[in-house]
Structure 1
């Protein structure tokens, strides 16, 4: 009888402590320092309004007042860090070649018309800018705009060179990087722990497990940004306002991608997401302006 009472009191104490720390995580963890906050994030610069990952797309998004540019990086044969989503150029340029097999000067221009990946039966027809840019071009043009970098391949040289560029342009406080691969994120963090990292997919799953077992409030987290897709099976499990609020209170920003209609915009913000990533920056800006959520409070 005494043993049962002891177990019951221990479990009750654990549950109450977990619940308290879930709502007040700074009792145990120091809040992460947030050097920027992003509500409006332009996916590939806004792939629904300009050709993806071009300087024209990035300029358009920045002119609209986007809080962050999201882009993807690869390494050319001559070790130049370029901004492009695909390793192979067939989809984007019509040329069946890998970026890693070509020098930067040999890269072909983008096609005039590209499918918008996250919008069904939608294509974007671009203007005159069809050039695959260098990452340093983006840093030169937008020195004060936060950039979200997806390291597309597990390449030590790519990771090192991106880190060197971020440091050279004094952008460690304006950059987040990573990949769905836990191995890539670990390498990024090891290469330069001053650049905040994203949760990898395995770490997202671990985060879920910690949340639903009540252990999350007790566990330190090195990541500062959680990016999750919507809709998906994982997201339907993950999307709990209590989780988002807990992470936000710890200084971890929650971004939901890639959302392109107002119903999903509303749902994401209602759930407490820090920001939304979209292919249509104009559409998101108009929604946020109408609903008075353009500014971080």
Structure 2
């Protein structure tokens, strides 16, 4: 009887302590220093309004007031860091060639028309700018704009060169980098621990495990940005008949587990920003902000800006 009472009191004490620290993490952890806060994030510069990852897309997004540019990086055969999503140029340029095997001067231009990955049956028609830019071009053009860099391949030379460019342009306080793969994020952090990193996919799963077991408030976190999808958008990207019952169930379960206001509030109280991608309609914008996400990543920066203006959503002070 006494043992049962002891166990019950211990468990109760743990639960109460965990709940308190979940609400007030500052009691145990120093809040991370936030050098910038981003509400409005332009995915590949705004792939629904201009050709993705082009200087024209980045300029348009900045002109309408985006808080952050999201982009992707690869390394060419001659060691140039280029801003492009795919490792192979077939989808974006119509040429079956790998970037790693092609010198920068020989990279073909983008096609005139590209599909928008996160908008069903949507294509973007390009203007005159079809050049694949260098990362340094983006840094030169937008010295004060935070940039979110997806390191697309596990390449030590790419990680080192991106770090060198960030340092050269004095952008460690305006950059976040990483990938869904934990090996890449670990290498990024080892290469330059002064550039904030994203949670990798395994770390997101670990984060959820800590949250649902009540251990999260007790565990230190090195990452400063949680960048996650809203799983429910899969039903908008595919026709209902193409999804099996199990796929719909998995999407619902993932959405239920991941889209948690208490989790987002705890992380933001610890100085960890929460970005949700890639949202392209007002219903999802509203849900993300209502859940307490720091920012939303979109292919349509104008659409998101108009939504934020109408609803009085501004950059946090």
TM-score interval, normalised by the smaller of the two chains: over 0.9
Q: Gapped runs of 5+ residues in structure 2?
A: 233-250
CA apart distance, 1:102: 0.3
CA apart distance, 1:237: 1.1
Determine the structure 1 residue equivalent to 2:54.
54
Determine the structure 2 residue equivalent to 1:143.
143
Q: Distance in 2 between matches of 1:47 and 1:272?
A: 25
Q: Distance in 2 between matches of 1:263 and 1:238?
A: 18
Q: Which runs of 4+ in 1 moved over 2 A?
A: 231-236
Determine the structure 1 residue equivalent to 2:125.
125
* Secondary structure of the structure 2 residue equivalent to 1:286: helix
* Secondary structure of the structure 2 residue equivalent to 1:21: helix
CA apart distance, 1:118: 0.4
Give the conservation status (yes or no) of the 8 Å contact 2:37–2:315. Answer: no
Determine the structure 2 residue equivalent to 1:260.
280
TM score, norm. by length of structure 1: 0.99
Q: Distance in 2 between matches of 1:191 and 1:49?
A: 35
CA apart distance, 1:226: 0.3
Give the conservation status (yes or no) of the 8 Å contact 1:38–1:274. Answer: yes
1:1-297 mapped onto 2 (5 Å cutoff)? 1-232=1-232, 233=251, 234-297=254-317
* Secondary structure of the structure 2 residue equivalent to 1:173: helix
Q: Distance in 1 between matches of 2:258 and 2:106?
A: 43
Determine the structure 1 residue equivalent to 2:241.
none
Give the conservation status (yes or no) of the 8 Å contact 1:228–1:235. Answer: no
Give the conservation status (yes or no) of the 8 Å contact 2:38–2:315. Answer: no
Q: Distance in 2 between matches of 1:295 and 1:224?
A: 18
Aligned CA RMSD, in angstroms, stands at 0.6
CA apart distance, 1:235: 3.4
* Secondary structure of the structure 1 residue equivalent to 2:3: helix
Q: Gapped runs of 5+ residues in structure 1?
A: none
Q: Distance in 1 between matches of 2:279 and 2:101?
A: 33
* Secondary structure of the structure 2 residue equivalent to 1:255: strand
TM score, norm. by length of structure 2: 0.93
Summarize deviations over 1:194-236 as a string: whole Å, max 9, x none: 0000000000000000000000000000000001111253333
Q: Distance in 1 between matches of 2:193 and 2:231?
A: 31
